[in-house]
Amino acid sequence: MLSAHTPWPEPARLATPDANDVHLYRAPVPATLDPRLESALTPDERERASRLIVDLARRRFITARAALRLILGACLDLPPAAVPIRYAAQGKPHIDAAPLAFNVSHAGDLILLAVTWSGPVGIDVECLQPTRSWPLVAERFFSAGERAAIAAHPEEDRWRAFLVTWTRKEALVKLTGEGVWSAFDQADTSIVATPSRTLIDLEPSPGYLAALALGGPAGPVHPFTFSRVPPSP
């Protein structure tokens, strides 16, 4: 597991991953936005941000979209606002002109981004906050094997085991690009590695759990922190 105790260095410059590598970024949502973040957005994205009334939602949207565009722009040697992000029928973002795969997730004041040239990728992050309804969710959407694995934990650890499974399933569904509710109960996470996909558990920051799904055997995963706008190559 990549944890909050794993080094997540701030890169001196944004750079593209090597062929089989995954670059994984955690981006804390800043209390005050750097104006350069908003300048990385498209006009449509800036207009969308202006409609967000809740301050955290606005700062999180701007940070997530700007970080994504800055990172992808460095990979593709394009200005951030010129990166041609498109959306498939089920909403999965992609770039038509290049085999660069990426995915984004956010919860609370933390954003995670994954970028790779090695195939499809999915990521999910959740706040580690227990909810009373989790047993009902597990009963509805988890396989018998997943529920048995959770039940094998001491009672005080079952919520965490549930959330590990939940993030794996979310990441796996985002990997495939299928609609969440149509595929969620078929996304079995009891086996973390198969020839066609790999699941990696993450603890990117205290109070958060996450999972990374890769479309094949895992190559090197390099974790970074994005908390400022670094110069591009």
Helices (H), 101-143: 134-141
Alpha-carbon distance of 101 to 99, in angstroms, equals: 6
Task: Yes or no: say if 232 and 32 are a contact pair by the CB < 8 Å rule.
Answer: no
Q: In the prediction, which pLDDT does 161 show?
A: 95
Q: Which residue has the tokens 């609609």?
A: 179
Average pLDDT over residues 9-22: 93
Alpha-carbon distance of 76 to 102, in angstroms, equals: 13
| More confident position, 136 or 88 | 136
Q: In the prediction, which pLDDT does 185 show?
A: 60
Helices H, strands E: what count in the chain?
7, 10
Q: In the prediction, which pLDDT does 226 show?
A: 96
Q: At residue 182, does pLDDT exceed 60?
A: no
State the average pLDDT for the chain.
Answer: 90
Q: In the prediction, which pLDDT does 91 show?
A: 79
Q: In the prediction, which pLDDT does 59 show?
A: 97
Q: Which sequence spans correspond to the domains of the chain? A: 22-225
* Percent of the chain surpassing pLDDT 70: 94
Q: In the prediction, which pLDDT does 186 show?
A: 63
Output the six-digit token pair for 28: 């804390």
Q: Is 66 exposed, middle or buried (0-12, 13-18, 19+ CB in 10 A)?
A: buried
Ramachandran assignment for 51, one of left (phi > 0), alpha (psi -120 to 50 degrees), beta (any other): alpha
CATH of domain 22-225: 3.90.470.20
Q: In the prediction, which pLDDT does 108 show?
A: 95
In the chain, at which residue ranges do the beta strands (DSSP E only) sit?
A: 22-28, 85-87, 93-95, 101-107, 110-116, 121-127, 193-194, 197-202, 208-214, 221-225
Average pLDDT over residues 37-60: 96
Q: Which residues of 174-201 are buried (b: 16+ CB within 10 A; e: fewer)?
A: bbbbbeeeeebeebebeeeeeeebbbbb
Q: Which residue has the tokens 């300048």?
A: 39
